[in-house]
Amino acid sequence: MALPLDIPIASLTPLLVELMQSDGTARSDEAGDGSAKEGTRDLWVLRRSDADESLVPDATLRDAGVIDGELLSFRAMSALTVPTLFDDVVDAAAQLNKAAHVGWGAEAARAMTFAAVTMASAAWIYFLLSPVFAPNLKAITGVSIAWILALVGAGALANRTYGQRSIGAALGWAALPIAAAMIAAWAPEWGVYGLAAGCLVVLVLAAAFFRIIGSGRWGYLTAGGVVGLTGVASAASAAGIDAATVGVVVAVASTLACRAVPHLTSGLDGMGPRPTEVARPDDDSVPGTPLDVWERVREAVVTRSALYTALSSSAGLGAAAVLLEPVPLQWPAVAFALGVATALALYAHAVAAAAERMGLGIPAVALVVLACWRAQGGDEPMPVAAFALLLVTAVAFVIIGARAESAPASRRMVTVLAYLNYLSAAALIPLAAWAIGCDGSAGAS
């Protein structure tokens, strides 16, 4: 449904409620007796797809920064009404019992369980990769295989039998790093291409875990993208190509590939019914209903976020390979790493969903911090310039965050950022040539 941009949201709300109730998709106060009505007083609000806060009713969609094509959700919230107290003693006891452990609940228990599983997996990774336990590697590998099978089986049971998607995803995500560490521990015995072959095995395992468990797409897509590009880089290094050159190529290719993600996923969040299915009026699960569209949009956001995270992480790893070369650090390596981070950060500002911005922004910030830390060991004035850059970056993030909370960016600022985004992507090629010494004037060493 298309909405006008220049009409206050409060004026649109009654019309939207009337349309939804005429379709039979919303019923708030039309059924039940008086006591039921008291508990079902609803306040209808508009929200963005990636935010929990409602749009201000007095403002228009244009004032709220809603752009053309953005998807909004129309939800009912319980009104703040005083509940009826039928028995003061029982009510008081119930409230006291709830307030005694206000920080503990099902979500807290779930989070602690996830943390415990993650810590156990981290312990197994340490056992597999630590030289201290190398004499017992075969026994540890056997126990690790059993632990992986237990995690995958429990994840499949949780999701496919009990419908607990988050539990299945967490258990599968905990099993995949153990498998990767186990393969990395045995990869040196497979020859010069052992690491590349191990990455291929991990890629197959990620696809298999997702097919078995059925949830956790984001983690498997991210891991598959990073591991796949790492395998290609490992094969290139094993073929005799310099590590810095491989890192530069991977960083540039991954950064530029981020621009292709919207085109690759353009058909995932279509608004109409799927062409292979016929809509039936008596079917509640017909594609094209609001819930179906909402679910498809969420899946598209998850897919794009995973691809962005995989590509930006691979770009950061490639730039880190240039920064961490065992040679005296020079300006070309620092400039290239900062150029990659700038391109990722500016492109993160152009995407809409918060999960997509985080997938691009976090690796960019980590790369800036790594470059500034590595620059502290360079010649003067590199340490001072790196510290000043880190300070300016922190101040810029604070200003951007404050302006984003107060008001959306103006049209002029959006245009300036679009040009900067284009220039940062175009500057990667000369920076890459400078970093690997293709122009003959300087190199990474």
Residues 6+ apart with CB under 8 A from 285: 292
With cut-offs at 50, 70 and 90, classify the pLDDT of residue 23.
Answer: low
Q: What is the pLDDT of residue 221?
A: 94
Q: What is the pLDDT of residue 349?
A: 81
**How far apart (Å, rounded) are the C-alpha atoms in residues 394 and 371?**
14
In degrees, rounded to 5, the angle at the alpha carbon of residue 185 between the alpha carbons of residues 182 and 186 is 95
pLDDT > 90: what percent of the chain? 40
Q: Tell whether the model's pLDDT for residue 132 goes beyond 60.
A: yes
Q: Which residue has the higher pLDDT, 411 or 433?
A: 433
- DSSP H or E run through 73: strand 72-78
With cut-offs at 50, 70 and 90, classify the pLDDT of residue 269.
Answer: low
Residues 6+ apart with CB under 8 A from 230: 199, 314, 317
Q: Tell whether the model's pLDDT for residue 382 goes beyond 50.
A: yes
Tokens coding 204: 């197959």
Q: Tell whether the model's pLDDT for residue 170 goes beyond 50.
A: yes
Q: Which residue has the higher pLDDT, 306 or 287?
A: 306
Q: For residue range 320-342, list pLDDT tens digits in order.
A: 999 988 777 888 899 999 999 99
Total length of the chain: 445
Q: What is the pLDDT of residue 9?
A: 81
**pLDDT, the chain, mean:** 80
Q: For residue range 51-86, list pLDDT tens digits in order.
A: 667 777 788 877 777 766 667 777 777 665 555 554
**How far apart (Å, rounded) are the C-alpha atoms in residues 358 and 360?**
5
Q: What is the pLDDT of residue 386?
A: 84
Tokens coding 396: 């810029």
**How far apart (Å, rounded) are the C-alpha atoms in residues 436 and 422?**
23
Q: What is the pLDDT of residue 308?
A: 96
Residues 6+ apart with CB under 8 A from 341: 316, 319, 364, 365, 367, 368, 371
Distances from the Cα of 303 to the Cα of 130, 310, 389, angstroms = 34, 11, 33
The alpha carbon of 183 is separated from its chain's Cα centroid by a whole number of angstroms, namely 26
Q: Where are the domains of the chain?
A: 1-17+43-79, 109-241, 263-270+298-444
Query: What is the average per-residue pLDDT within 236-246?
Result: 90
One-letter-per-residue 3-state SS of 103-129? CCCHHHHHHHHHHHHHHHHHHHHHHHH
Letter string b/e over residues 369-391, b meaning 16 or more CB atoms within 10 A of that residue's CB: ebbbebbeebeeebeeebeebbe
**How far apart (Å, rounded) are the C-alpha atoms in residues 155 and 165?**
9
Distances from the Cα of 267 to the Cα of 282, 300, 357, angstroms = 27, 9, 20
Q: For residue range 289-323, list pLDDT tens digits in order.
A: 555 667 777 888 899 999 999 999 999 999 999 99
Q: What is the pLDDT of residue 29?
A: 44
Q: What is the pLDDT of residue 417?
A: 82
